[in-house]
Structure 1
Amino acid sequence: MNYSMIRYITGWMLKLEAYFMLLPCLVALIYKERGGLAFFTVAIVCFVIGKLFTYKKPVNQTFFIREGFVVVTLSWIVLSVMGSIPFVLNGDIPNIINAIFETVSGFTTTGASILSDVEAISKCSLMWRSFTHWIGGMGVFVFLLAVIPLSGGSNMYLMVAESPGPSVGKLVPKVKKTAMILYAIYICMTLAEILFLLLGGMPIFDSLATSFGTAGTGGFGIKNDSMGSYNDYIQWVVTIFMILFGVNFNVYYLGIAKKWKKALRCEEARVYFGIILVSIVIIAFNIRPMFHSIFSTVQHAAFQVGSIITTTGFSTVDFDMWPQLSKTILVLLMFVGACAGSTGGGIKVSRCLIAFKSIKKALDSYVHPRNVKKIKLEGKPVSHEVVRSVNVFLVLYVVLFAASVLLLSINEFDMITNFTAVAATINNIGPGLELVGPSKNFGSFSDLSKIVLTFDMLVGRLELFPVMLFFYPPTWK
C-alpha cells in the first residue's frame, strides 16, 4: 500500500475543498450573512491540513487499483465530514449526524434532505448544498486530474474508481486531457442552462443553485416545493437539461469531434431515450384526469420521469399522490438510472443491457448448446471480465439493499417508506414514497438509520466496489 501517495492525494482534495468553499463565502458577503465566517474558517483549516499533506511530493508515485479505490473512498469521506462542519458552526444544521447526512447527500448528488424548511437556512448554506452537487456530479477526482500535476498511468485508477458505469475509457491518450475535456463539456452545459434559466426570468441565485443541482443530477431544492413554484418555461428547461446530463459524456465528445454516425449509434443512449419516451407516454395517460390540460399532464410526466431516471430528484408535484401504475414506473426508473459516464446514478442503462443480454445468451445456450455467442454492446464484444463485474455488482447491490432495508425496519416505519428510502439513497435519487416522498424529508429517521442511508449514498455514488474494498480487511495488509 502506497500510503505516501494516499496522503498526498488526500491533501490535494482538502486544498480543492478550501477553494470550493470560497463560493459560499462570497455569497455570504453579498447577502451580508454571518454564516460565511464558518465556511471561511473551515476553508482555512482544510487548506492548512492540505498544505501539510502535500508539502513533500512522494518519491514513489506508482499505485494500483487497490490504492486508487482506497484514496477515492477516503477522500470522499474526508470531503463530506469537512464539508458538513460549516452547517454545524453557523447553526443551520446543528446536529453533526444530520449535517454529515446532508453533505454526503450533496456530494453524492442524492438530494435527500433532513430539512423540513429549506427556505429558513442561510443563502450561503443553500449555495453550498447545491454547489456540492456540481462538485460531485462529474467527480472531484476528474477535476483533480484536470488541474494537479500527477503523472503516469496510475492516474487511470482514480478515474476508474470514481467514474460511474461498468467500465471507463480515455477519450484521448492522456488521462489529464480526458479529464479536461470532460470538465470543459460539463462547464459549458452548466453555463448554457444558467443562461436559459435567466432568460426565463429566474433570479441569478436561483439560476446558479438550480443549474448546479441539474448538472450534478443532485436535486437539492432551494424552495420548500422544489421546482413547483417556477413557471412552465423554467420547468421545461430543467427537464431537458436533466435528461441531457444523464447521457454518456462520450457521446458529446463524439459530437464535438464531428463523429456523428458513431455518436448516433450509441446503443445505451438510444435505449435511455427510449425508456424515457415510453415512460412519459404511459404515465401521461395514467395521470391525465389529475390535470386540467394535456400540455400540463405531459409537462409534469416528463419532468418527473427525467428527474427520476437521471437520479436528480427535483419535483414539480407530489408524485406520491399519483396512481399506483405511475408510482411503480417511477420506482423502477430509480433502479435503471442514467447512462454510464454521465452524472446520473442508479444501476446504469449499460449494466441493465449487459444483464438482459446475459440472460438471453443463457437461454440460447439451452436451445443451442454448441452455439458460441459473444455478448455485444455498441456493436463490440463485451469481455468476460466486464460481464463478470456486472454480475458481481448486481449480486452485491441486492445484498447491500436487503441489509439496509432490514436495518431500517428497526424504526417500525412501513415497508414502502423503508424500501424507497434505501432505493432513493443507494441510487442517489433523493425522494422516495410515503414518509420520504417529495413533500417530506428524511428527518424522522433515527441516527442509526441516517448512518445506514449515508453509507448507502456513498456506496451508490462510488459504484459499490471502492467503498467495500475500503472496509475489506485484506486491503490494508
Structure 2
Amino acid sequence: MKLNTRIIIHILGLLLLCNGSFMLLAAIASGIYKDGATMEIMLAAIVTMLFGMMAMFYTRGHKKEVKKREGYIVVTFGWIVMSISGMLPYLFSGAIPSITDAFFETMSGYTTTGASILDNIEALPKGILLWRSLTHWIGGMGIIVLAIAILPLLGIGGMQLFAAEAPGPGGDKLHPRITDTAKRLWLIYFGYTVLETLLLKFAGMSFFDAINHALATMSTGGFSTKNASLAFWNDQPLIQYIVILFMFLAGSNFVLSYFALTGKVQRILRDEEFKYYLGFVVIFTIVVALGIYFRADVPVSDFHPMVLGEVESTIRHGLFQVVAVITTTGFVSADFTSWTPFLTVFFFGLMFLGGSAGSTAGGIKVMRHLLIIKNGILEFKRTLHPNAIIPVRYNQKTVTEHIVYNVIAFFVLYMLLFIIGSLVLGLLGLDFVSAVGGSASSLGNVGPALGSLNPVSNYNSLPAAGKWWCSFLMLLGRLELFTVLILLTPYFWKKT
C-alpha cells in the first residue's frame, strides 16, 4: 500500500506550528526579563512557524487518513523534526553555538532525559532557560498526544498516532474517543504543573524557578535553572518534599490521577502496578537511607543535617534520589555515586526499573517487570504440569500471550540495546563505568549517570559522535524501541 506522504508532511507542519508557538512564550519571557535574547528567540519562532505553515499549505489537499505505517513515521520523524527546530533558539542566541551540542540538549529535552552539556546553566538568558524547560514539558505527555487533541479540527483521526507514540501494555483510555482521552490527559498534566508551580512559589522559590522546575518535574525531565540542581535548595526541605510528591505523581499512571479526581479511589487501591510502584519506593528508600546513615564519610555539606535533624535529612535525600531515578526525572539533591559502592550499583540498577505505564517516566516500566516475573514463576508450574493452561494474570484479569510475548521481546531488545550502547561508548573512548552508565541513562531517559557522567557532572566531555549516539538512544528509549526500530526494517518499506 502506498504511503500517504502528504498527510505525514501535513502533520509535521502542524507540529512545527505548535513548536513555534511555544517558542513565542519563551520570547515573551525573555522580553519581560530583558535578558538580551528576545529577538533571537522570536526569530527562531518565526522561522519554525514559517516552515510549518509552508508544509501545511503545500499539503492542504491531503487524504485525511493515518494508517499504522504513517503513524510510526509521523511519531519518529515528529520527534526528530521538533528537535531540529528546537535547536534554533540555542543557535540563534549563541547560548549553544555548536549544532552537535544544541541537538543533544534539545533531544535530551524533548525525550525528557535531562542530560545536559551546559557547564554554567545560571549564566544563560532566562528566555533560553524557559525554552529548555518547555522542551521537557512538550515531550513529557507526548508531542503526538498534543497533536491528536488538535487533529479532529482538521478532520484527521489520531488513533494510529496514539498507538505509535504510546506502545506496549497499560495504555488505558479514559474515553472511547481517542481525542477526548488526549484532552483529559493534557488537562491533568497542565493542572498538576500549575499546582506545583504555586506550591514551589509558596515554599520559597522565585516564580521563574518554580515554573521551570514544575515543567521539568511533571515531564520527569530533570533540567534545572541551577548548576547544583535541587541541591541548591538543600536547606529548604519543603521545596524538596514538594518536588518528591510531584515526581511520584508524574511517575504514576495518569489514568489513576483521573480516577482520583473523579472519586474512583478504589480503582487506584486495586491497581497492581501502583501498589508495587509505591512499595518499591518505600523499600528502596529504606535501603538507601540506611546505607547513607551508617556511612560516616558522607559530606555533611550534602545534607545540611541541622535543618531538621540528621535522620530526617538522611531519609529525605534517600527518598529524593530514589524517586528521581525510578521516575527517570534525574533531579539531584546530592551525588549518590559518592555515597558507597553498594549504593552506586544500587542506583545503577534502579535506572532499569522506570515508572508506571501511562506515565511520563522512561525506563522499562514497573508493569513490564511484573509481567516478566509472573511469567517466569509460572514457568515452574508449567514445567511440572505441561498440559495445564496457566495464564498470567494482572489486576485479576488474564493477560493474553501476545502481550506477554511483546513484553519479553521488549525486555530482551532493551537489554541488547543497552549492551550495544555501552560497547559503542566504550569504542568512543569512555571508561567502563561511564560507558555502561551513559548507555543505561540515555536509553532509560534518566539523565545523571556514573563515572565521568555522574550527577554533579554533565555530558559535555562526550566526543561529538558520543553525543549523537546518546541522542539516538534517548529517542529509542522515549518511543519505547519498537516505534523507531521498525522503521529500520526492510519489510516496513515494502509495498503491500
TM (normalized to structure 1)?
0.97
Distance 1:257 1:221, change over 3 A: same
Q: String of CA shifts for 1:382-412, please: whole Å, max 9, x gaps.
A: 1122112112211221222111111111233
Per the TM alignment, residue 156 of structure 1 is displaced from its structure 2 partner at its CA by 1.5
Match of 1:392 among 391, 397, 409: 409
The answer as to whether partners of 2:337 and 2:455 remain within 8 angstroms in 1 is yes
Distance 1:113 1:382 in 2: 40
Per the TM alignment, residue 308 of structure 1 is displaced from its structure 2 partner at its CA by 0.3
The answer as to whether partners of 2:29 and 2:126 remain within 8 angstroms in 1 is yes
Pairing 1:404–2:407 present: no
Per the TM alignment, residue 36 of structure 1 is displaced from its structure 2 partner at its CA by 2.3
Question: What residue number does 1:351 align with?
Answer: 368
Match of 1:380 among 384, 388, 397: 397
After TM superposition, list the pairs within 5 Å mapping 1:74-89 onto structure 2.
Answer: 74-89=77-92
After TM superposition, list the pairs within 5 Å mapping 1:7-26 onto structure 2.
Answer: 7-26=9-28
- Aligned letter for 1:19? S
Per the TM alignment, residue 357 of structure 1 is displaced from its structure 2 partner at its CA by 1.2
Match of 1:39 among 38, 41, 65: 41
Question: What residue number does 2:442 align with?
Answer: 425
Distance 2:33 2:493 in 1: 47
Pairing 1:275–2:280 present: yes
Structure with more relative contact order (C-alpha pairs < 8 Å, separation 6 or more): 1
Match of 1:287 among 283, 292, 295: 292
Gaps of 5+ in 2: none
The answer as to whether partners of 2:220 and 2:330 remain within 8 angstroms in 1 is yes
Per the TM alignment, residue 77 of structure 1 is displaced from its structure 2 partner at its CA by 0.1
Distance 2:435 2:323 in 1: 23
Distance 1:442 1:244 in 2: 28
Match of 2:143 among 122, 140, 143: 140
Per the TM alignment, residue 166 of structure 1 is displaced from its structure 2 partner at its CA by 2.8
Distance 2:433 2:61 in 1: 50
Distance 1:327 1:115 in 2: 24
Question: What residue number does 1:243 align with?
Answer: 248
The answer as to whether partners of 2:372 and 2:407 remain within 8 angstroms in 1 is yes
What secondary structure is seen at the aligned counterpart in 2 of 1:228?
Answer: helix
Distance 2:333 2:167 in 1: 27
Distance 1:61 1:148, change over 3 A: closer
Per the TM alignment, residue 165 of structure 1 is displaced from its structure 2 partner at its CA by 4.5
Per the TM alignment, residue 119 of structure 1 is displaced from its structure 2 partner at its CA by 1.2
Distance 1:413 1:62 in 2: 46
What secondary structure is seen at the aligned counterpart in 2 of 1:316?
Answer: coil
The answer as to whether partners of 1:164 and 1:340 remain within 8 angstroms in 2 is no
Question: What residue number does 2:53 align with?
Answer: 51
The answer as to whether partners of 1:165 and 1:341 remain within 8 angstroms in 2 is no
Question: What residue number does 1:254 align with?
Answer: 259
The answer as to whether partners of 2:66 and 2:156 remain within 8 angstroms in 1 is no
The answer as to whether partners of 1:164 and 1:461 remain within 8 angstroms in 2 is no
Per the TM alignment, residue 260 of structure 1 is displaced from its structure 2 partner at its CA by 2.0
After TM superposition, list the pairs within 5 Å mapping 1:304-319 onto structure 2.
Answer: 304-319=321-336
Per the TM alignment, residue 433 of structure 1 is displaced from its structure 2 partner at its CA by 1.2
Distance 2:200 2:113 in 1: 22
The answer as to whether partners of 1:8 and 1:58 remain within 8 angstroms in 2 is no
Pairing 1:451–2:468 present: yes
Question: What residue number does 1:156 align with?
Answer: 159
What secondary structure is seen at the aligned counterpart in 1 of 2:351?
Answer: helix
Distance 2:196 2:127 in 1: 21
Distance 2:410 2:153 in 1: 30
The answer as to whether partners of 1:137 and 1:218 remain within 8 angstroms in 2 is yes
Question: What residue number does 1:321 align with?
Answer: 338
Q: String of CA shifts for 1:331-359, please: whole Å, max 9, x gaps.
A: 11110100000010000001111111111
The answer as to whether partners of 2:44 and 2:92 remain within 8 angstroms in 1 is no
Question: What residue number does 2:224 align with?
Answer: 221
Per the TM alignment, residue 200 of structure 1 is displaced from its structure 2 partner at its CA by 0.7
Question: What residue number does 1:413 align with?
Answer: 430
Matched residues, number? 477
- Aligned letter for 1:18? G
Match of 1:334 among 338, 351, 355: 351
The answer as to whether partners of 2:439 and 2:470 remain within 8 angstroms in 1 is yes
Distance 1:186 1:36 in 2: 28
- Aligned letter for 2:84? V
Distance 1:359 1:154, change over 3 A: farther
Distance 2:65 2:104 in 1: 34
The answer as to whether partners of 1:159 and 1:168 remain within 8 angstroms in 2 is no
Match of 1:263 among 262, 265, 268: 268
Distance 1:282 1:210 in 2: 27
Question: What residue number does 1:364 align with?
Answer: 381
Q: Which moved more, 1:362-371 or 1:333-342?
A: 362-371
Distance 1:335 1:62, change over 3 A: same
Percent of residue pairs bearing the same amino acid type: 39
- Aligned letter for 1:105? S
- Aligned letter for 1:432? A
Q: Which moved more, 1:229-238 or 1:271-280?
A: 229-238
What secondary structure is seen at the aligned counterpart in 2 of 1:372?
Answer: coil
The answer as to whether partners of 1:81 and 1:100 remain within 8 angstroms in 2 is yes
Q: String of CA shifts for 1:157-183, please: whole Å, max 9, x gaps.
A: 211222265342321111111011101
Question: What residue number does 1:5 align with?
Answer: 7
Question: What residue number does 2:478 align with?
Answer: 461
Distance 1:52 1:232 in 2: 50
- Aligned letter for 2:283? V
- Aligned letter for 1:216? S
Distance 1:150 1:341 in 2: 25
Pairing 1:128–2:145 present: no
Distance 1:113 1:138 in 2: 21
Gaps of 5+ in 1: none
- Aligned letter for 1:73? T
Distance 1:169 1:151, change over 3 A: farther
Match of 1:168 among 161, 165, 171: 171
Per the TM alignment, residue 325 of structure 1 is displaced from its structure 2 partner at its CA by 2.1
Q: Which moved more, 1:189-198 or 1:381-390?
A: 381-390
